[in-house]
Amino acid sequence: MSEQSQTAELTANQTYNAEHTNTNNGEHSVSYGTYFMVWLGLVALTSVTVTVAGIHLGSLTLITALLIAAVKTTLVGYHFMHLKFDNIIIKIFVMVCLGIFLCLWILTFADLSFR
Amino acid sequence: MANGSLAHEVSYLKYEGKHKGIAGWLLTLDHKRIGLMYLMAILLFFFVAMTLGILMRLEMLTPGETIMRPSTYNSVFTLHGVIMVFLFIIPAIPAVFGNFMLPIQIGAKDVAFPRLNLFSWYLYIAGAILAIVSLFTGGGAADTGWTFYVPYSIRSAQNVTMTTLAAFVLGFSSIVTGLNFVVTIHRLRAPGMTWFRMPLFPWALYATSWIQVLATPIIGITLALIILERLFGIGVFDASLGGDPILYQHLFWIYSHPAVYIMIIPAMGVVSEILPTFSRKDIFGYKQIAISSLGIALIGYLVWGHHMFVSGMSDASRVVFSLLTFLVAIPTGVKIFNWVATLYKASIKFSAPLYYVLAFIFIFSIGGLTGLVLGALSTDIHVTDTYFVVGHFHYVMFGGMGIMFFATMHYWFPKVFGKMYSEKIAIIACTVIIIGFNMLYFPFFILGYMGMPRRYYDYLPQFQGWHVLSTVGSWVLVSGIVFMFGNLLYALLKGPKAPMNPWGGTTLEWKVPSPPPLENFEEIPVVTGGPYVHDKPTYIMHPGKEGLNGNGVVKTANQENAI
Amino acid sequence: MTEHSEVMQEETQIHSGAHVHRDDEGSKMAMWLFLFTELLLFGGLFLLYGSYRFEYADGFKAAAADMNSVIGAVNTLILLTSSLSVALSIAALQRKQKALALGMLWFTIICGLVFLVNKYFEWSHEIGMGIYPGGPALENMSNGEIIYFGLYYVMTGLHGLHVIVGMIFIGFVMFFISRDKITATNYQKLENAGLYWHLVDIIWIFLFPLFYLLH
């Protein structure tokens, strides 16, 4: 539960910072070039995933495809969705959501794979 | 705002803004009015579902057909379940009292998104209307049970499609409320109100809201798939096309088990409010109770499989789910022991809300302990789909959440309506309810253990004695409930005016007039200590007048508006 | 007194009053929470996909072989590019380049439309071949393939629905930008629309390999 107390502190600070209305924004402005680079990376990864799918890797095909998709998602989330600049509380939220989702998979497969 | 101070003296009930009369309610953005609108709607559906329950008990008075045909009985128990679960138990405490009390308890003027709040009420009403329309259209009311298990929900000729659609819309309403509360608690706490100075009811709502946000979408997609399966036959849950009905059960319970905690955690939050007030003493183990709410919410996600022990899932996962199920008992036990320890050496003032809470602790313990019987694999197989299960979930749902809903209504009645009810009658009604409740549901455990299956309109003659006792209990219970509501209704019309703080409560809602003014606070208070400190004040209600705003205490955005 | 209901703390409200309370951080938080619900809505379907892929590995491979991975790849590129243009429009608005921001959003909407048109042709091609729930071609296929196409229609259909909603969302935002309600100092709504659009993109990032490539 250490994560929780951390959250507690952080948001307590936030409340204090919430003075003078949060017209936040404006703190970060990313150069157009960075976005283009990210986009190029995404396109490159897409071509990799299409190419790899053509090669017969057996059971590795699925894992590679998912790994590439995960990397692409991280790129979109971190740069395009500005998680890079976001308050830590939002990062924790994302982790909690993904953690719960992962639990659902593990427990469902605890059933399926032992049937 | 030249007339600002005047507005703060007018209660939210009497206030007239842009819209007057009924429109002033239907278009209101005030969290308190929205809470009351929820209360009206929810009580209406409570009475409908209660009536269905009485009819079911009446049917069970004698073996064979008593007052209804078997197919009618199927529809009646389905509707009793759907209405109670989706229209009463899930929204009752968060949507009514959460809406009303959360902003006040954390020192805010409203929730973070008042328009979304109103929108969620309209979604609730839309879902409710769909549920009602489904009764009278398309081949009759749904008859699948509230769980909509496949394959029956795919094959049933009755109007399952619309009932599932209703549940879908109600789920959306629940998500919106949860989202609103999470942001409210993060963003709108008064200056000085750190997480561990927050009362325990907001803590409970915080845990609940997370479940609402993270679990409800799963039921949304599951019910949508049922609808698509019925309309197009996509095969995802249809065993004849290769679908896996057990996966339906997985998805259904991935939501519906955490939903059980959507129902009970807010009720536990209210227990933690009522106990310190009537014990005149700080709550024992504040942090543990606060964190255990989150603990229950978290573990609550991991135990859904215990609803499916006999469904045909793998042995390995049954053991895992059984083990995880026992873990829920830990945070729940933490709460119960801390509550009892709060009462120890306290100067207890007995009054109606406290009686309900004591009844809750007793009844909920029975419900919880019988839950262990169901969580253990071997014993569960013996009592699966019997009255034992029905008894268990009525003890935790009705005995837990329902009884606490009554307690909440009594505890906050003076604050919400500004009137006092008759304490004596309230206590008598409470006693009748507790006796009726146990008479109605305790025989279920015995019947279930003897092998009486659930969802049958008929039974073997040897069960009749217990069924008769139970049916008589339902009459006692209902008369208690009617008595209780009669008392509150009378108080509403003729009761004496309530003072600001009739119980000697320490949280913020007791520092504002009864009923509270439109925006709750003249000035946003500053918090200097914990929520249940009885011997010294922990809230500065007029920081501006005391000149605190200039000296280090930060003004919030809310305050800027008020000035 | 009528003004009081207006003064209530509603964040990012478009009141003309100078004292309107705005909480961009809260608004962003709410948007993220909403995205979680969307994620889990699709999450349920992904869970089903995973379970059935586990159960019918061969049927799923056979079915995926029927898919046109070129259209899938083109659609992936379209959505990735539209995500870029949304991100660029935020950057442009931050630099007070209103026209560029609007242009980027127009481009995004056009990308969304092209995506949907592709999807339409793809679906009609498959339906024309009799591959749809209850369709003549699908009835003769194995259970794994039936489930695969059932999930295919549900997941891409739901995704398409989200593309449409995202386009409407962006449309509203464009209206507000043109009226100067969303500006270089007050652009959380644009940011939120962007977040939504990126989520739609992310879901497609997973749908593409799962339905088009794994044969």
Of the pLDDT bands very low, low, confident and very high (cuts 50, 70, 90), residue C7 is very low
* Chain C residues near residue B107 by CB distance under 8 angstroms: none
Q: Are B278 and B501 in contact (CB under 8 A)?
A: no
Among B11-15, B261-265, B273-277, C30-34, the least confident range? B11-15
Whether the CA torsion A57, A60, A61, A65 is positive or negative: it is: negative
Q: Does C23 touch chain A (CB under 8 A)?
A: yes
- In this predicted structure, the answer to whether residue C171 has a pLDDT above a threshold of 80 is yes
ipTM of the complex: 0.92
Instruction: Report the C-alpha gap between B367 and B396 in whole angstroms.
Output: 5
- In this predicted structure, the answer to whether residue A14 has a pLDDT above a threshold of 60 is no
> In terms of C-beta density within 10 A (0-12 exposed, 13-18 middle, 19 or more buried), how is residue C202 classed?
buried
Provide the shortest C-alpha distance from residue A6 to chain C (in Å): 18
pLDDT digit string, tens, across residues B206-244: 999 999 999 999 999 999 999 999 999 998 999 999 999
Residue of C45 and A12 predicted with greater confidence: C45
Question: What is chain B's length?
Answer: 563
Rounded to an integer, the average pLDDT of A61-90 is 93
CB contact under 8 A, B561 and C9: yes
Helix (H/G/I), strand (E/B), else coil: B540: strand
Instruction: Report DSSP letters for A50-83, one per residue.
Output: HHHHHS--TTHHHHHHHHHHHHHHHHIIIIIT-T
- In this predicted structure, the answer to whether residue B353 has a pLDDT above a threshold of 90 is yes
Instruction: Report the C-alpha gap between C14 and C49 in whole angstroms.
Output: 42
How much is the pLDDT for C18? 33
CATH of the domain at C103: 1.20.120.80
CB contact under 8 A, B554 and A8: no
Determine, yes or no, domain membership for C144.
Answer: yes
Q: Are B552 and B528 in contact (CB under 8 A)?
A: no
pLDDT digit string, tens, across residues B392-424: 999 999 999 999 999 999 999 999 999 999 999
Helix (H/G/I), strand (E/B), else coil: A25: coil
Q: Are strands B526-527 and B539-540 parallel, antiparallel or unpaired?
A: antiparallel
How much is the pLDDT for A30? 82
Closest by Cα among B104, B109, B118 to B28: B118
Determine, yes or no, domain membership for C20.
Answer: no
CB atoms within 10 A of CB C61: 16
- In this predicted structure, the answer to whether residue B563 has a pLDDT above a threshold of 70 is no
Q: Does B28 touch chain C (CB under 8 A)?
A: yes
Q: Are B454 and B395 in contact (CB under 8 A)?
A: no
Q: What percent of chain C has pLDDT over 90?
A: 80
Instruction: Find chains touching chain C: ≥3 CB pairs under 8 Å.
Output: A, B
Closest by Cα among C80, C65, C86, C57 to C171: C86
Pick the residue from chain A with its C-alpha nearest to B249: A108
Q: Which of A4, A12, A19 sits opposite B291 (nearest CB)?
A: A4
Q: Are B294 and A5 in contact (CB under 8 A)?
A: no
Q: Which residues have a Cβ under 8 Å from the Cβ of A88 and sit 6 or more positions away?
A: A10
Instruction: Report the C-alpha gap between B477 and B438 in whole angstroms.
Output: 9
- In this predicted structure, the answer to whether residue B13 has a pLDDT above a threshold of 70 is yes
How much is the pLDDT for B549? 52
CB contact under 8 A, C41 and B220: yes
How much is the pLDDT for B17? 75
CB contact under 8 A, B191 and A16: yes
Determine, yes or no, domain membership for C156.
Answer: yes
CB contact under 8 A, B320 and A110: yes
Instruction: Report the C-alpha gap between B249 and B375 in whole angstroms.
Output: 17
How much is the pLDDT for A97? 96
Q: What percent of chain C has pLDDT over 70?
A: 90
Please report which helix (H) or strand (E) contains residue B520, including its range.
none
Radius of gyration of chain B (CA): 24
How much is the pLDDT for B552? 43
Pick the residue from chain A with its C-alpha nearest to B203: A8
Q: What are the Cα distances from residue B179, in Å, to B111, B190, B212?
A: 11, 19, 8
Q: Where are the alpha helices (DSSP H) in C56-142?
A: 57-65, 69-94, 98-128, 136-139
Instruction: Report DSSP letters for C25-57, one per residue.
Output: HHHHHHHHHHHHHHHHHHHHHHHHHHHHHHH-H
Determine, yes or no, domain membership for C114.
Answer: yes
Q: What are the Cα distances from residue C36, in Å, to B53, B214, B369, C129?
A: 37, 7, 35, 37
How much is the pLDDT for B453? 95
Q: What are the Cα distances from residue C137, in Å, to C60, C145, C146, C212?
A: 16, 11, 10, 19
Of the pLDDT bands very low, low, confident and very high (cuts 50, 70, 90), residue B139 is confident
pLDDT digit string, tens, across residues B266-325: 999 999 999 999 999 999 999 999 999 999 999 999 999 999 999 999 999 999 999 999
* Structure tokens, B118: 């109103």
Of the pLDDT bands very low, low, confident and very high (cuts 50, 70, 90), residue A3 is very low
* Chain B residues near residue A89 by CB distance under 8 angstroms: 186
Q: What percent of chain B has pLDDT over 90?
A: 85
Q: Spell out the long-range contacts of A23-28 with Cβ–Cβ below 8 A and sequence spacing 24 or more.
A: A23/C22, A23/C24, A23/C185, A23/C186, A24/C24, A24/C25, A25/C24, A25/C94, A25/C185, A25/C186, A25/C187, A25/C188, A25/C191, A26/C94, A26/C184, A26/C185, A27/A85, A28/A82, A28/A84, A28/A85
Query: Buried (b) or exposed (e) across B168-206, using 16+ Cβ within 10 A?
Result: bbbbbbbbbbbbbbbbbbbbbbbbbbbbbbbbbbbbbbb
Determine, yes or no, domain membership for C74.
Answer: yes
CB contact under 8 A, C7 and B561: yes
- What is the residue type of B435? I
Whether the CA torsion A11, A17, A22, A28 is positive or negative: it is: negative
Q: By residue range, what is the domain housing residue C66?
A: 26-213
Rounded to an integer, the average pLDDT of B455-475 is 95
Q: Where are the alpha helices (DSSP H) in B384-463?
A: 387-396, 403-417, 423-450
Mean of all residue pLDDT scores within chain C: 89
Helix and strand tally (H, E) in chain A?
4, 0
Instruction: Report the C-alpha gap between B96 and B411 in whole angstroms.
Output: 13
- List of domains in chain B: 75-328 (1.20.210.10), 350-417+421-495 (no CATH)
Q: Which of B189, B304, B317 sits opposite A114 (nearest CB)?
A: B317
Helix (H/G/I), strand (E/B), else coil: B497: strand
Of the pLDDT bands very low, low, confident and very high (cuts 50, 70, 90), residue B12 is confident
Instruction: Report the C-alpha gap between B164 and B148 in whole angstroms.
Output: 8
Determine, yes or no, domain membership for C83.
Answer: yes
Of the pLDDT bands very low, low, confident and very high (cuts 50, 70, 90), residue C12 is very low
Residue of A57 and A20 predicted with greater confidence: A57
Instruction: Report the C-alpha gap between B126 and B287 in whole angstroms.
Output: 39
Q: What percent of chain B has pLDDT over 70?
A: 95
How much is the pLDDT for C21? 67
- What is the residue type of B329? A
B interface test, pick of C3, C5, C154 with most B CB neighbours within 10 Å: C5
Pick the residue from chain A with its C-alpha nearest to C32: A90
Of the pLDDT bands very low, low, confident and very high (cuts 50, 70, 90), residue C17 is very low
pLDDT digit string, tens, across residues B14-33: 877 777 788 889 999 999 99
Q: Are B138 and B157 in contact (CB under 8 A)?
A: no
Among A54-68, B528-542, C15-29, the least confident range? C15-29
Q: Are B96 and B140 in contact (CB under 8 A)?
A: no
Of the pLDDT bands very low, low, confident and very high (cuts 50, 70, 90), residue C215 is confident
CB contact under 8 A, A1 and B294: yes
Rounded to an integer, the average pLDDT of C4-22 is 40
Q: What are the Cα distances from residue B546, in Å, to B82, B109, B525, C10?
A: 53, 20, 11, 28
Among A68-82, B225-239, B547-561, the least confident range? B547-561
According to DSSP, residue B397 is labeled I
pLDDT digit string, tens, across residues C118-145: 999 999 999 999 999 988 888 889 999 9
Of the pLDDT bands very low, low, confident and very high (cuts 50, 70, 90), residue A61 is confident
Q: What are the Cα distances from residue A15, in Å, to A22, B191, B290?
A: 11, 7, 19
- In this predicted structure, the answer to whether residue B61 has a pLDDT above a threshold of 80 is yes
Of the pLDDT bands very low, low, confident and very high (cuts 50, 70, 90), residue B546 is low
Rounded to an integer, the average pLDDT of B52-81 is 93
CB contact under 8 A, B313 and A115: yes
Determine, yes or no, domain membership for C142.
Answer: yes
Helix (H/G/I), strand (E/B), else coil: B283: coil
- Domain tally for chain C? 1
Helix and strand tally (H, E) in chain C?
8, 0
Q: Which of C51, C144, C153 sits opposite B234 (nearest CB)?
A: C153
From its phi and psi, is residue B458 left (phi > 0), alpha (psi between -120 and 50) or beta?
beta
pLDDT digit string, tens, across residues B434-458: 999 999 999 999 999 999 999 999 9
- In this predicted structure, the answer to whether residue B3 has a pLDDT above a threshold of 50 is no
How much is the pLDDT for B263? 94
Q: Are B386 and B452 in contact (CB under 8 A)?
A: yes
pLDDT digit string, tens, across residues B149-160: 998 999 888 899
CB atoms within 10 A of CB C143: 18
* Structure tokens, B388: 């034992």
Considering only residues 151 to 190 of chain C, which have any Cβ-Cβ distance to chain B shorter than 8 Å? 151, 153-154
Q: Which of B113, B220, B558 sits opposite C30 (nearest CB)?
A: B113
State the angle between helix axes of A88-112 and C24-55 in degrees (0 to 180), rounded to the nearest 10.
20
CB contact under 8 A, C22 and A22: yes
B386 DSSP β-pair partners: B453
Q: Which residues have a Cβ under 8 Å from the Cβ of B251 and sit 6 or more positions away?
A: B218, B219, B221, B222, C44, C47, C48
CB contact under 8 A, A26 and C185: yes
Determine, yes or no, domain membership for C93.
Answer: yes
